[in-house]
Structure 1
Amino acid sequence: MSSETPSCKVVLAKNIANGLLQEVHEGLKTLTKKPHLVGFLANSDPAARMYADWTEKTCHENGFRYTRRDVDKEEIEEAILSANADDGIDGIIVYYPIFNNRQDQYLQQIVDVSKDVEGLSHRYVFNMYQNIRFLDENVPADGSSSVGGTQKSILPCTPLAIVKILEYLRVYNTILPYGNRLHGHTICVVNRSEVVGRPLAALLANDGACVYSVDITGVQKFTRGEGLKKRRHEVEDLEGWTIKDAAPLCDVVITGVPGDSYKFDTSLLRYGAVCINFSSEKNFGPEVKEKASIYVPSIGKVTIVVLLRNLLRIVQNRAAGQAAGKV
């Protein structure tokens, strides 16, 4: 190989998204009508408007109905409650931030769990952190392995998109049992937001990885213990640790730092690491290709397909619940 040819493979989000879209199209064939997604826009944030436009375009191109409703922020609560009660609406997405405070968290909780395509309601968040994978799962009180389940729990779109990317890259080892397929991997997540970074660290640890979660306050370690003895992840504060301690230990590095001033220090990378950036900014400089084996520069197109996949799953869950006499 020429010294001028980087050994790093750049993987584009659209190539990963195309495979997931095929799965979505197969699922749509089993339905009698197009799933209907309603998006509520109650802010003037250009990024939110762009996401709404992107959602609409992707829905219409792939056999889904989409309606955007622009509402005043003082009317958003009533608008969500009205959509909850509307049988013609299958899924609801709200474009945040609206109030940029705890009121946004309240709004996340009032979206009906059977229409919450973003997986932000309490039931879904609880299941995610507790490593409960089905809505109808029987979880023993003694903490042993769960039993059964036909209705899959909904996961937040961006963390799930990163999981799907890692599956596509075969970081997940399909020889291992489902739920343990990241066993042996050490992953650094640079972002601990409640929306993406912390849920992502929990999901990866619940699947068997040792995860170092990094933000400006320090480093936390997410793990299911030695030999994956725990049913769900535990979190340990690593006093005095910084990214300089964590990143060199990791074979996967995932960044999501907002703002164009942040750049990941490539000198901390292990040679051959897998690097994924989910920030709208470029957290990695071009020199990342000199050390990484695989680099995914952005994930937006995967996230939007995961949103459609979640909507499809919600419709399927409702049908499964009705068949079981639970809805």
Structure 2
Amino acid sequence: MDDVAEKPNCKVVLAGGIAKTLLGEVHEGLKKIGRKPLLVGFLASEDPAARVYADWTKKTCEENGFSYELRIVDRELLEDAILDANTDPTVDGIIVYYPIFGSRQDQYLQQIVDVSKDVEGLSHRYIFNMYQNIRFLDPHHTKKSILPCTPLAVIKILEYLRIYNTFLPYGNRLHGRTVTVINRSEVVGRPLAALLANDGACVYSVDINDVQQFTRGEGLRKRRHEVVEKPGWTLENCLPLSDVVISGVPGEKYKVPNHLLREGAVCINFSSERNFTPEVKEKASIYVPAIGKVTIVVLLRNLLRIVQNKIDEAAEAASSAAKEAAKVEEATQTNSDKA
């Protein structure tokens, strides 16, 4: 009889199962609103991944009680199309499928989507709040800020996998975790590193040129994350230290070096390409090969939050107006009595 211990099995977790757990929350939110919110998607490129994402968005919206309209426009006309949707009262939310120009022009387009319709959480106010670790839009902490969909989808997956320690206070639940994020794009990689660090993790953010470390300081001293350069560091330094490895390199040829992975690491792929080889299952304890279905449900959550925020603001304005009217009425009555 062989005396060799069996290797533990790797659990492959599919996005569809995680998405289903979040859909219950979405359905409850939809009941409170009592109507079908309209999401408008803008497709202005030939990028196949963008088209797949648009098709998934439509399917998920229509299956779960939302209205969806895809508008295919020439990229040179996209700016005007977004501005029109901003002022259209029938449109509740806007999503733009990037990349379009693949340059700073894409960042400009992100900023012209009206903040009250920005389901992707890419406008300046939301991005500022995220990096500053400001979680609410109001002083009473009743309206949560909107977070970018793909980074938030990864957070929701980590919560589902119980990587977050629910015994710790909210905001510190990744304390003691070391995470490598391979990708530092402004849309996904860098926001994700910031979110994870703001929740207490030590995060190594790996780009093609360098490695940066995102933390909230020793012992979670800071309210928000800080970033330091790690000169000379590569994946060889980061991966052996990491409990969690999250990769989103948009290249068919790129693969995470399997031999550098820590035994029992949790591995998550958010690229449209497979960044991990099949051999990842020999090292990882949990492997999530794709996250798209969770991202779309998070998009619906964001849309609901935006619509609910508008309803709450309208109710607050009506309440303030009623109180003001009551004061005027009381003052008028008092003056009448004196007369």
Question: Structure 2 length normalisation: TM-score?
Answer: 0.90
Cα pair 1:56 1:66 within 8 Å, conserved:
yes
1:25: which partner in 2? 27
Instruction: Select the residue among 211, 215, 221 that pairs with 1:223.
Output: 215
Aligned residues: percent identity? 74
Q: Distance in 1 between matches of 2:284 and 2:99?
A: 34
Cα pair 2:181 2:245 within 8 Å, conserved:
yes
1:100: which partner in 2? 102
1:218 Cα deviation after fit: 1.3
1:49: which partner in 2? 51
Q: Which moved more, 1:51-60 or 1:166-175?
A: 51-60
Cα pair 2:8 2:285 within 8 Å, conserved:
no
Cα pair 1:16 1:302 within 8 Å, conserved:
yes
1:267 Cα deviation after fit: 1.3
- Paired positions, count: 316
> Does the residue aligned with 2:185 lie in a helix, a strand or coil?
coil
2:227: which partner in 1? 235
Q: What per-residue deviation string (whole Å, max 9, x for no partner) do you get for residues 261-317 of structure 1?
A: 111111111111111111111111111111111111111111111111111111111
Unaligned residue ranges in structure 2 (runs of 5+): 321-339
1:40 Cα deviation after fit: 1.2
> Does the residue aligned with 2:275 lie in a helix, a strand or coil?
coil
1:69 Cα deviation after fit: 1.2
1:145: which partner in 2? none
> Does the residue aligned with 2:32 lie in a helix, a strand or coil?
coil
Q: Which moved more, 1:114-123 or 1:270-279?
A: 270-279
2:265: which partner in 1? 273
Q: What per-residue deviation string (whole Å, max 9, x for no partner) do you get for residues 97-128 of structure 1?
A: 22222221111101000000000100001001
Instruction: Select the residue among 149, 156, 175 that pairs with 1:164.
Output: 156
Unaligned residue ranges in structure 1 (runs of 5+): 138-147
Instruction: Select the residue among 79, 84, 90 that pairs with 1:77.
Output: 79
Letter in 2 for 1:202: A
1:207: which partner in 2? 199
Q: Distance in 2 between matches of 1:45 and 1:240?
A: 34
Q: Which moved more, 1:293-302 or 1:73-82?
A: 73-82
| Structure 2 residue 121 is the aligned partner of structure 1 residue 119 | yes
2:275: which partner in 1? 283
Q: Distance in 2 between matches of 1:288 and 1:44?
A: 32
Cα pair 1:211 1:223 within 8 Å, conserved:
yes
Q: What per-residue deviation string (whole Å, max 9, x for no partner) do you get for residues 110-165 of structure 1?
A: 1000000000100001001000011114xxxxxxxxxx311111111110000000
> Does the residue aligned with 2:70 lie in a helix, a strand or coil?
strand
Q: Distance in 2 between matches of 1:190 and 1:103?
A: 24
Q: What per-residue deviation string (whole Å, max 9, x for no partner) do you get for residues 168-226 of structure 1?
A: 00000111111111011010111111111100000000000000111111110000001
1:5 Cα deviation after fit: 7.2
Q: Distance in 2 between matches of 1:41 and 1:265?
A: 34
Q: What per-residue deviation string (whole Å, max 9, x for no partner) do you get for residues 23-64 of structure 1?
A: 101111111211110111222222222211111111000000
Q: Distance in 1 between matches of 2:220 and 2:48?
A: 43
Letter in 1 for 2:237: D
Cα pair 1:6 1:289 within 8 Å, conserved:
no
1:313: which partner in 2? 305
Q: Which moved more, 1:237-246 or 1:72-81?
A: 72-81
Letter in 1 for 2:104: R
Cα pair 2:116 2:306 within 8 Å, conserved:
yes
Letter in 1 for 2:37: P
Question: Structure 1 length normalisation: TM-score?
Answer: 0.93
2:145: which partner in 1? 153
Q: Which has the higher helix share?
A: 2
Q: Distance in 2 between matches of 1:205 and 1:278?
A: 18
Instruction: Select the residue among 286, 300, 304 that pairs with 2:292.
Output: 300
1:324 Cα deviation after fit: 2.5
Q: Distance in 1 between matches of 2:258 and 2:274?
A: 13
Q: How large is the Cα RMSD of the aligned pairs? A: 1.6
1:250: which partner in 2? 242
